[in-house]
Amino acid sequence: MTDLATRAAPARSGALRRAAPALLGYAAVRALGLLVLALWSAARGKSAHTLLTARWDALWYTRVAELGYGYEVRLPNGDVHSNLAFFPLLPWLERLVAAVSPLSYADGGLAVSLLASLAAAWGIFAVADHVYGRRAGICAVLLWAVLPVGIVQSMAYSESLFTALAAWSLYAVLTGRWVTAGALALLAGLTRPVGLAVVAAVWAAGLAPFARGRRTAPPHGTRPGARALGLLLAPLGTVGYVLWVGQRTGRGPLGYLDVQAGWRNGFDGGYAFARFVAGKFTSFPSALAGLGLVAGVALVIWLYAVCVRQRQPLPLLVYAGVVTALALCASSYFGSKPRLLLPAFPLLLPLARALARLRTPRSALVMASVAAGSAVYGAFWLNGSGPP
């Protein structure tokens, strides 16, 4: 693998100006998605606001913000859905926004998500720009915006917040800012269980030089202990919350696993998902869906292989690999898997590089067409089964 890039990051005064085209393009794509959602929902007699803020996981986050932890639902089959499954950073921010503004907890979550999505877009641009240049950075952001499940980026969910923290932590690693990387990894670990992917990326980058049998001087004049402090900070969010849940449930380190088991979530290496896909081939109509699932998984694996072949920096490969493995190999609700892959933005970098080689009119036409399709799909999806 290539060593971490050591060229200096853009000065703060010029960083926003450099990222402006990517952020404006991202905002335009998301605005289109919200507009189509509003029109589609109105035509069906539904509220787009409710779909964005008060359904599925958004309700659970709001309950944590309002009532704290301890709420659970016992299902007829014996399963127990506990809100301890939901990590606390988004509810904390919802509570903060509600305390300092007239917004409700739900609207606070939506505001956090919308701002975090812009921060995520900027972070994705910063990473891609640092590794492959400005044009690829713009394309990477637009590709992330037009993903079929991109509407989740504008919901009161934690995906946008997590992706923002992950992207900027990875950028901090790439530019040698170890304490910042560790602090952001800590916060990512308080946002979603997949925060482990950010921790793994920071640790892999920090320990790789020693695994190769040589020491490398930290770039940009980093103080001698900064790398060690960053590595120490990185896992504290995830570890702290899991231990707290264990103490609260009386089950020690296994407590969080018990909570997830109540939701029928676990890690089985992909066995349950493989059975689910295989079950689609029992009849003709569902076999088409099965073929689509196989093609989607094959595409994800192929993109990761291309990332490896193109020698992406080690922290990006580790991060994307762990996010992908946790998404595809978990036994959770299978409809969630596209959403769980949303933070794996390094997988988009090969496509961004290819798109960046096209002439601007052609790439703009491609992105506009895909953005329109994504907006329609997002509206159809949320008005139908939606993201679990």
Q: Binning pLDDT at 50, 70 and 90, where does residue 5 land?
A: very low
Distance from the Cα of residue 96 to its chain's centroid? 22
Max Cα-Cα span within the chain? 64
Average pLDDT rounded to a whole number, residues 188-193: 97
Q: Binning pLDDT at 50, 70 and 90, where does residue 4 land?
A: low
Least confidently predicted of 285-289, 346-350, 355-359: 285-289
Flag whether pLDDT at 121 surpasses 60.
Answer: yes
Q: Binning pLDDT at 50, 70 and 90, where does residue 252 land?
A: confident
DSSP designation for 72: E
Flag whether pLDDT at 388 surpasses 70.
Answer: no
**Nearest CA among 110, 135, 137 for reference residue 123:** 137
* Predicted confidence (pLDDT) per residue in 82-105, tens digit: 999 999 999 999 999 999 999 999
Flag whether pLDDT at 78 surpasses 90.
Answer: no
pLDDT of residue 44: 94
Residues in the chain: 388
Average pLDDT rounded to a whole number, residues 16-21: 93
Average pLDDT rounded to a whole number, residues 190-199: 97
- Continuous H helices in the chain: 12-43, 48-53, 57-67, 89-100, 105-132, 134-145, 159-174, 178-189, 195-211, 226-233, 236-249, 255-262, 271-279, 284-309, 314-328, 337-340, 349-356, 360-382
Q: Binning pLDDT at 50, 70 and 90, where does residue 2 land?
A: very low
| Inter-CA distances, 255 with 78, 82, 239, 244, Å | 18, 12, 12, 9
Q: Return the domain boundaries, the chain.
A: 15-382
Average pLDDT rounded to a whole number, residues 358-370: 92
Q: Binning pLDDT at 50, 70 and 90, where does residue 6 land?
A: very low
**Nearest CA among 173, 156, 62, 169 for reference residue 119:** 169
pLDDT of residue 369: 94
Q: Binning pLDDT at 50, 70 and 90, where does residue 214 land?
A: low
* Predicted confidence (pLDDT) per residue in 24-64, tens digit: 999 999 999 999 999 999 999 999 999 999 888 999 999 99
Dihedral of CA 35/38/40/42: which sign?
negative
- Stated pTM of the model: 0.93
Least confidently predicted of 77-81, 133-137, 148-152: 77-81
Q: Which residue has the higher pLDDT, 50 or 385?
A: 50
Flag whether pLDDT at 207 surpasses 80.
Answer: yes
Flag whether pLDDT at 296 surpasses 80.
Answer: yes
| C-beta separation of 30 from 128 below 8 A | no
Q: Binning pLDDT at 50, 70 and 90, where does residue 1 land?
A: very low
Flag whether pLDDT at 216 surpasses 50.
Answer: no
